[in-house]
Structure 1
């Protein structure tokens, strides 16, 4: 029997990641900052992070991650109809980093667009891809979260320099008529908190000048206390809403994969949702906060550890600049390039 458009859904058909080789430990940072390994671990849960080489950028991190995802999906690059790059550290204001990524991958005729939603960017990009695939406009969309955040950090500011790492993670979102699919998405934003997490200068609101450079206004600035309050208030509410919409309870979530911002935030969110820590995946101890790359990086590692498997229900949670948030509930289907045992 032929399937109707109403049966059409979207699924993650391939996944890939890329991590720079250079590792910076908390001890390394303590040599130049007034901090210590103990101070960083206690407040963030982070032990080390990856830092991109001088000749690397968001696009050069994104390209191998995207290539791996396309290969795992069993596709040729020409089959990808759209490339979306979510990033807070794009190559340039224009052109889109996605245009360089698409060209380098060989998806030369694909559409290419960047998405800026802070650390919620991967969820937002996933939502865009899901809508385009479910509607039949696209068959395969490549979503990449790519960050060279080290380029936008003030390495003399311990409140931000210790938190972030560089990485890229990618997924291919493809059409499906099976049960393993993206089940629901929720997104929101509170612009009253726009100044709490920002890069003040470099855009049309505050163009680059000698003064903005001298004043360090092209670096990431964050009010950590207020971001914590925001995340622990809004993210559990968003997660509860998407679960209710999809007809599931928190007890039916097999794995929670949150944006890897801070262990304290993640613990508070899990506690308020009533999700046991054993069902929460974290890897920020190894990679720090990789912003838009954090969720796909977690998915890849969780699958490698056997925590992501055919049919499991996964709750993805993002939050960040804007102040933005996003939640996604999906039922996992093994990509075609993965052999299950």
Structure 2
């Protein structure tokens, strides 16, 4: 059988660390366009209590999304030990392309995947660049697409990158601006023939496009006098929270059942992270569906020091664990992990991945 296996991973984190104190003097508004009367200290304290986010990374002005995506890609390719000319596809997950740091103009032509191919110096005309815009679940959906290409025997080696510079897409007057951050993660997915199944075992995707379509959109600033970008991230936090807790745990359970697996077969759950309180509740609800409680250290967390890096969250976390840089978390031979995400549209997806016995 043909297995779809991650043979190399990498990530890039900007050097600029932005702590919560950075926002103390920001003017924040409510959804009705009224300035919040609370002090910056009070707003930050409440924010940290809910999200657990203490700091995040922002790119410097001389870097674009495609630049940091390329850096993560280089590491993944090196770890995989392949020649980049051997790649059949480069799939790039992102939400805003390259964003100019001054005018905040979104640029997706050429595509981010094409820019990555160019930056890597790949001359292979049969290496196809493919962009994925799927909200925060975009990287996992890209991994699923890469798996389907491999299973269909139209590709053997695929670079899957997730990257965003969300610091340039936020509304500076919306408290949700403190959630978002910048970063990039990448893996190389390869076809490996074996009599034993490992790699991507199963996957599932659900797309909600009813009222959920308005839960996370781009719109004008909630500050009526803001003269910056006319397109900023606008999130209905309560709606998203309720949607996630209602829909993600049963979706993961259904995937496990479809795979003839139990929650006790899973060694790690790598969740996309935007809000620690929400992630903790998600895990608790998942295990409650099985009439049990979550074991300690089942769900690695990075949101406290990296914030929400959107499509970069899961591949970055994967790479940090592979590098033994997210103690006490480790991957072992034969481990089965779940990688799951939820985000704009709203989309929900998950992958079950098993490490080989070698």
Q: With structure 2 as the length reference, what TM-score do the two structures score?
A: 0.85
* SS of aligned partner of 2:21: helix
* SS of aligned partner of 1:14: strand
Aligned to 2:355: 332
Alpha-carbon separation, structure 2, partners of 1:147 and 1:136: 30
Alpha-carbon separation, structure 1, partners of 2:306 and 2:181: 6
Is this contact kept in 1: 2:74–2:120, CA < 8 A? yes
Following superposition of structure 1 onto structure 2, how do residues 218-257 of structure 1 map, counting pairs within 5 Å? 218-257=231-270
The structure 2 residue matched to 1:21, chosen from 2, 5, 15, is: 15
Is this contact kept in 2: 1:15–1:69, CA < 8 A? yes
Is this contact kept in 2: 1:270–1:276, CA < 8 A? no
Judge which range, 68-77 or 93-102, deviates more. 93-102
Alpha-carbon separation, structure 1, partners of 2:187 and 2:346: 24
Q: Over residues 240-277 of structure 1, what are the superposed CA-to-partner deviations in whole Å (9 max), with x where a residue is unaligned?
A: 11111111111111000000111111111111111334
Aligned to 2:137: 120
Alpha-carbon separation, structure 1, partners of 2:161 and 2:346: 21
Aligned to 2:109: 94
Divergent runs of 4+, >4 A: 213-216
Residues 254/94 of structure 1: CA separation in 2 closer, same or farther (3 Å cut) = same
Is this contact kept in 2: 1:12–1:333, CA < 8 A? no
- CA drift of 1:89 comes to 2.3
* SS of aligned partner of 1:17: strand
Judge which range, 276-285 or 252-261, deviates more. 276-285
Alpha-carbon separation, structure 2, partners of 1:216 and 1:94: 19
User: Does 2:285 match 1:263?
Assistant: no
* SS of aligned partner of 1:199: strand
Is this contact kept in 1: 2:96–2:108, CA < 8 A? no
- CA drift of 1:311 comes to 1.6
Following superposition of structure 1 onto structure 2, how do residues 1-341 of structure 1 map, counting pairs within 5 Å? 7-33=1-27, 34-36=39-41, 37-91=44-98, 92-108=107-123, 109=125, 110-158=127-175, 160-178=176-194, 179-192=197-210, 193-200=212-219, 214=227, 216-274=229-287, 275-303=294-322, 304=324, 305=327, 306-333=329-356
Higher helix proportion, which one? Answer: 1
Alpha-carbon separation, structure 2, partners of 1:13 and 1:56: 28
- CA drift of 1:126 comes to 0.5
- CA drift of 1:13 comes to 0.9
Q: With structure 1 as the length reference, what TM-score do the two structures score?
A: 0.89
- CA drift of 1:156 comes to 2.2
* SS of aligned partner of 2:297: helix
Is this contact kept in 1: 2:92–2:161, CA < 8 A? yes
User: How many residues matched?
Assistant: 319
- CA drift of 1:124 comes to 0.6
Residues 263/70 of structure 1: CA separation in 2 closer, same or farther (3 Å cut) = same
Q: Over residues 102-131 of structure 1, what are the superposed CA-to-partner deviations in whole Å (9 max), with x where a residue is unaligned?
A: 111123331001111100101110110000
- CA drift of 1:55 comes to 1.5
